Structure 1
Amino acid sequence: MRFIEWQDGAWSNEPVSSSTADGQLVVHAAEGSDYWEKTMYGFQHDNGHALLAPWDKAEAIEISFALDGFTELYDQAGIMLWHSGEQWIKAGIELNDGIPHIGAVVTDGYSDWSLSPVPEWKGEVITLRASRMKDAVILRARTENHPWRTIRVARFPHETGSQAGPFLCAPTRAGFQVTFTRWAATAPDADVHTDPPIV
């Protein structure tokens, strides 16, 4: 495993503020920030905040953050996988109807959305993981006290030019802050049915 330094990434859109302390990254999202492409709503949002660095297909990427301060509809944070403005995946925690949900938005010209409630994860440190396998990416999540959960297997066939890193959005309000605790590259998944080690 190797840790990726926060300064090694570049913001897709600058947040209101970001600072580092004790190896952690604290970020304030702009009000109205989000990523979405057309489906159901018709609108396009590309003003969320993703801190991106080149992603080697041979490595899995893990992002960890503290699940606190999520109080308003659609507050969200997690991992962004980026190939272009029309081809990307975001996966993480999103507050929906007052309950934290683990979910993913997969976009290839149009976005889709899948989610599942995880109220028992509230107040913990969440880790999101993305690992490439053939033309797909395996998305998993866990907490300090809950094991890996496979949340999505999605098509992501891009051989080159992909980036990955932490993201956050605050579609409905100002003042949303997230503390990211880790950004790491590690060995890829051995199989979709085999949990990766916790490192």
Structure 2
Amino acid sequence: MDWYNEPPRWASAGNTITMQAGPNTDFWRLTAGGYVRDSGHFYYQRQRGDFQAEVRFKGEYQAMYDQAGLMVRVNEATWLKCGIELVHGRQQVSAVVTREYSDWSMVALPDKIELIWLRVHRHGATIEIHYALDGYDYQLLRQTYLSQAEAMDVGLMCASPEGLGFLVRFEDFSLQAYKSEKQA
């Protein structure tokens, strides 16, 4: 795996990757303010064709917009990120899809959670984002068009747009080529 904006501290041991998000880091483009930020941390590998990525993680979110989760990236203007984001003191399941301009959607969680499971599935130009609070009962968060690009960078991301940074722990990250029953 490779880094795009390596964080100040990180470690990998077995199936666990920990990252310390740096201060004033983010991924965002143009919407609601007209600024571009491409300074978040992204630990990725390139994947061709359809795929499924999964991870479970927990973060020590502290400041407004602290975020961690999965990212799928074609280039600086075409990407998506999804995961947990702290908004007004509450953890939200969040997705940002960017095709030149970022758009943002979120779902409030009932309470502070310890772990969340994320699954991102690509089929052609379509990406589906699912999450689970128990590792079994996955809910669809978003289905979106992203890109027709043959290869995409897929992996773990974190950022602290307004804070001093925070620690996140990812476990059991997997990325596999995926063939639907129609393709088999």
Q: TM-score, normalised by structure 2?
A: 0.90
Match of 1:65 among 37, 57, 70: 57
- Match in the other structure for 1:6: none
Provide the secondary structure at the position in 1 that maps to 2:151.
coil
The Cα RMSD (Å) is 1.9
1:99 to 67, 79, 90: 90
**4+ runs of 1 displaced by more than 6 Å?**
none
CA distance in 2, matches of 1:121, 1:139: 21
The Cα offsets for residues 120-160 of structure 1, whole Å up to 9 and x where unpaired, read as: 3511x212111112321111111226610100011023231
After TM superposition, the score normalised by the length of structure 1 is 0.84
CA–CA distance in structure 1, aligned partners of residues 113 and 122 of structure 2: 28
**Structure 1 residue 70 displacement after superposition:** 1.3
Paired residue for 1:18? 10
TM alignment of 1:3-152, pairs within 5 A: 9-66=1-58, 68-120=59-111, 122-123=113-114, 125-144=115-134, 147-152=137-142
Letter in structure 2 aligned against 1:100: Q
Whole-angstrom distance in 2 between the partners of 1:190 and 1:151? 20
**For 1:12-61, what per-residue CA distance to the aligned partner results, in whole angstroms no more than 9, with x for missing partners?**
10101101234311110110000000111111000000111012323211
1:172 partner SS:
coil
Q: 1:121 to 1:57 in 2, by over 3 A?
A: farther
- Unaligned 5+ segments in structure 1 are 1-8, 192-199
Identity of aligned residues (%): 28
Contact 2:49 2:151 (8 Å CA) reproduced: no
| Pairwise CA distance, 1:190 | 5.6
Structure 1 distance, partners of 2:54, 2:163, is 27
Q: Distance in 2 between matches of 1:135 and 1:80?
A: 15
What is the DSSP-based 3-state SS (H/G/I as helix, E as strand, rest coil) of the residue aligned with 1:55? strand
Unpaired runs of 5+ residues, structure 2, are none
Contact 1:101-1:119 within 8 A present in 2 as well: no
Q: 1:40 is aligned with what amino acid?
A: A
Determine whether 1:155 maps to 2:145.
Answer: yes
Choose the corresponding residue for 1:176, options 152, 157, 166. Answer: 166
Distance in 2 between the 1:142 and 1:186 partners? 19
CA apart distance, 1:181: 0.8
